[in-house]
Amino acid sequence: MFDHPVARLVMLRLVLAVSAAALGATAAVGFKKISHFWLCILISFAAGALLAVALFDILPESLKLVGWKAGLLSILSGYFLFFIITRFVFHICPACAATHTEINFKAITLAMVAALSVHSFMDGLAIYSGYLTATPIGILILVAVVYHKFPEGMALALVARGSGMDRRRSFLTSFVLESTTTLAGGIAGLIILTPSSSRWVGYVLGHIGGGFIFLVVHALLSEVIKHHPRSTVLAALLGAASIGITGYFVGAF
């Protein structure tokens, strides 16, 4: 399966996303202290990109493939899945939770690992589903996920450091969790979804778009914007603008 040109290209995109998380983890363990202001800025930039991709690319594509009723249901399913996990398991996005005045995580729990695994799995599935659209939307999804992976990898490594791990173990914890779950999402897509299953791709895209919207709403409105409202809003706008510029050059708009 992995010898197929499509599989190789998808794996390359997945590796790019995982590499962004690894760079974030490297930055987290390479410095004695990470400025929470800049972590908020990075998260907000990524959130703006995710929101732009969700609203202007993922959701319209989903509605086109499956229709309004089915599309809206798939969007709501993604939003409420992330809501339920955040409410009853653990915050679905460690990076979004790491935006307080001081990072003071005491332990990496199984609940955190479970929540992050679902999140990163959906990232990998999003990358593959975007590729299956055979449109520039796939590139924009990849760019947005890569943006988000950097602060996510950074935040997870900071959590590990705060729980008492040394630098090496903190990096490995972040890298292993991010790589295995993100790759698993992409591989699951390769196994389950095919270019001919356009209707199922529409459902999956809607589900992913709903999850992205939850992440953005929670990151910006519930967390980040409370601390640095002007800076984070500006960063989010820049993130959205970067997607617009990328979309223009790849022919998405």
**pLDDT (tens digit, 0 to 9) for every residue of the chain, 253 residues total?**
555 677 889 999 999 999 999 999 999 898 767 677 788 888 889 999 999 999 999 999 999 999 999 999 999 999 999 999 988 988 788 766 655 544 445 567 678 888 889 999 999 999 999 998 888 899 999 999 999 999 999 988 888 887 788 999 999 999 999 999 999 999 999 888 776 677 889 999 999 999 999 988 887 776 566 677 788 889 999 999 999 999 988 876 5
The predicted pLDDT at position 223 comes to 59
The predicted pLDDT at position 112 comes to 81
Q: How far is CA 133 from the centre of its chain?
A: 19
The predicted pLDDT at position 220 comes to 73
The closest alpha carbon to 244, from 139, 95, 122, 162, belongs to 139
Q: Where are the beta strands (DSSP E) in 75-139?
A: none
Long-range Cβ pairs for the range 1-9 (8 Å, 24+) = 1/190, 1/191, 6/131, 7/190, 9/131
The predicted pLDDT at position 165 comes to 87
The predicted pLDDT at position 207 comes to 95
Measured in residues, the chain has a length of 253
pTM: 0.91
The predicted pLDDT at position 101 comes to 42
The predicted pLDDT at position 62 comes to 94
**Residues 6+ positions from 43 with CB-CB distance below 8 Å:** 95, 96, 99, 151, 219, 224, 232
Distance CA 126, CA 206 (A): 10
The predicted pLDDT at position 181 comes to 96
Distance CA 56, CA 69 (A): 18
Structure-block tokens of residue 238: 């820049």
CA-based torsion, 188, 208, 142, 231: positive or negative: negative
The predicted pLDDT at position 102 comes to 46
The closest alpha carbon to 198, from 71, 18, 108, belongs to 71
